[in-house]
Amino acid sequence: MPEPSASERSASEPGTATSGASIELENLTKRYPGSADPAVESVNMEIKAGELVVFVGPSGCGKSTTLKMINRLIEPTGGRIRIGGEDVTDIDPVKLRRKVGYAIQSSGLFPHMTVAQNIALVPKMIGWSKSRIRNRVEEMLDLVGLDAGEFQGRYPRQLSGGQQQRVGVARALAADPPVLLMDEPFGAVDPITRDHLQDELIRLQHELHKTIVFVTHDFDEAIKLGDRIAVLRERSHIAQFDTPEAILTNPADDFVSGFVGAGAALKRLNLTRVRDVEITDYPTVTVDDPLQNIFDKLRDSGTNEILLLDKRGRPYKWLRRGDMMRAKGSLARAGTLVSDTVTRDATLRDALEAVLTDNAGRVAVTGRRGEYTGVVDMETLMNSVHELLEADRLEAMEAQHELEEARALQTHAEQEGVGGEEKA
């Protein structure tokens, strides 16, 4: 069964309060003078508290503009914004922005201030005491994985791109805002650093449960990070607003499937872990076993090979019938070494890669300390993927059905008054 999405997880874990706030966008519109068409037209969206929603879409679709309207860096020309239930469309924008974290692509760190001074900016503006600010700066640096002692006094130009981004996120979170807006924050770093930063964000989100709105043009990033993804077309019209699984398996129209791109099934593999699929068990022996036992097992097993474990129970070698014979009875020379293993935390994509590179079509699964826990082979993988895709499709169809039902009920109610519901 696939892992519950982040928002469901937070609801089911007792005692983990969401520190995020819900966001409602109602008919949000932005018109620039001199342009016939609005840049953003009538966006309606509800973002749950503690959710990580990704806005994804082609350049010029207005996703950054929509994001910037949430903290009113760009003032909307129409519509309303509600954060945590409170209408913030007309309040003092400066006060609003102090309650909303904002992280941008070039990190936006002020070069003339140290890392500590940058992070301390918003708390200072709000009026925290010096000692509270000092502690908070250390806490934030810790949170984003930077050593406080080493980095506090440094200037932005002395940091690498990845480090600057981390500080940018730390600054955005410093005043503990319930909402965090991120505008392509990982766009300007190399792919390896981007990967790390994405992992860090996921970890952060598990800890903090903020409501995060994340803008990117990279759909793979959207799948990796988002609880829900809003695929936007021109003027920020919402083509589809749903979980990554649903979008992958059931794109709403050609635009969305074009955006998803080829390889939806492969991308889907990134969303499931090895622990979620069936792991077969292979017959195993250890190096300590007497040779005769090993021979017997080889002969009696239904499979072509058995797995030889070392003294600590870790996968050591694959043994096939005839290997022992060829090695003239010496265990040390028999069999092929295990080249790669995966853990239960690995994605199915990693497992597929390992299975493909090993030309026997299977890979050993190990536990926390590297000990053998099972084997995943090509057949199991294929079966599991088909099951997953089917389950997704069914879920999406069900959701669609429920939506239509709800709409029908509403239409009935509108047409025939309250009693109409009961009739329907």
Partner 1 sequence: MTTTPEVEEEETEAAVPPTPPKRRITWQKLTFLPAALVAVLLATWLWFNQAHLDAISKNALSNGQVSKALWRHVQLTVISTFFVLIIAIPLGILLTRAAFRKAAPVAMTFANMGQATPAIGLLALLVIWLGTGEKAALIGIIIYAVLPVLSNTIAGLKANDPTLLEAARGIGMSPLGVLAKVELPLAVPLILAGVRTALVLNVGTATLATFGGGGGLGVLITTGITTQRMPVLVLGSILTVSLALLVDWLASLAELLLRPRGLEAGS
Q: Least distance from C-beta 21 to partner 1, angstroms? A: 16
Q: 200, 221, 227, 245: which one contacts partner 1 (CB under 8 A)?
A: 200
- The piece of 101-109, 217-225, 303-311, 404-412 that touches partner 1 (CB under 8 A) is 101-109
3 is a contact residue toward partner 1 (CB under 8 A): no
155 is a contact residue toward partner 1 (CB under 8 A): yes
156 is a contact residue toward partner 1 (CB under 8 A): yes
Q: 9, 98, 237, 297: which one contacts partner 1 (CB under 8 A)?
A: 98
Q: 1, 127, 157, 414: which one contacts partner 1 (CB under 8 A)?
A: 157
Q: Within positions 385 to 404, which residues make up the interface with partner 1, using CB under 8 A?
A: none
Q: How many residues bind partner 1 (CB under 8 A)?
A: 47
Please give the angle made by the CA atoms of 86, 89 and 95, to the nearest 5 degrees: 80
Q: Any residues with CB less than 8 A from the CB of 192 and at least 6 apart, and which? A: none
Pairing type for strands 315-320 and 305-309 reads antiparallel
H/E stretch holding 232: strand 228-232
Q: 11, 125, 325, 403: which one contacts partner 1 (CB under 8 A)?
A: 125
204 is a contact residue toward partner 1 (CB under 8 A): no
Q: Any residues with CB less than 8 A from the CB of 108 and at least 6 apart, and which? A: 168
Which one, 1 or 94, has the nearer CB to partner 1? 94
305 is a contact residue toward partner 1 (CB under 8 A): no
Which tokens is 421 given? 């519901």
Query: Given CA atoms 62, 68, 70, 72 in this order, what sign does their dihedral have?
Result: negative
Dmax (CA) for the chain in angstroms is: 88
111 is a contact residue toward partner 1 (CB under 8 A): yes
Angle separating helix axes 130-143 and 115-126, nearest 10 degrees: 130
Q: 1, 17, 36, 192: which one contacts partner 1 (CB under 8 A)?
A: 192
Q: Least distance from C-beta 29 to partner 1, angstroms? A: 21
Note whether 39 and 62 are within 8 A (CB): yes
Q: Least distance from C-beta 205 to partner 1, angstroms? A: 15
Which tokens is 333 given? 């020379």
106 is a contact residue toward partner 1 (CB under 8 A): yes
Q: Least distance from C-beta 148 to partner 1, angstroms? A: 13
Compute φ and ψ for 260, nearest 5 degrees. Answer: -60, -35
349 is a contact residue toward partner 1 (CB under 8 A): no
Which one, 21 or 229, has the nearer CB to partner 1? 21
Query: Given CA atoms 118, 119, 123, 129 in this order, what sign does their dihedral have?
Result: negative
What DSSP string describes 170-212?
HHHHTT--SEEEEESTTTTS-HHHHHHHHHHHHHHHHHH--EE
- The Cα–Cα gap between 108 and 170 comes to 12
Which one, 247 or 342, has the nearer CB to partner 1? 342
Q: Give the 3-state secondary structure of residue 73.
A: coil
Q: Least distance from C-beta 192 to partner 1, angstroms? A: 7
95 is a contact residue toward partner 1 (CB under 8 A): yes
Q: Binding residues for partner 1, per CB under 8 A? A: 68, 71, 73, 94-102, 104-106, 108, 110-114, 121-122, 125, 145-146, 154-163, 171-172, 192-193, 196, 199-200, 343, 345-346, 350
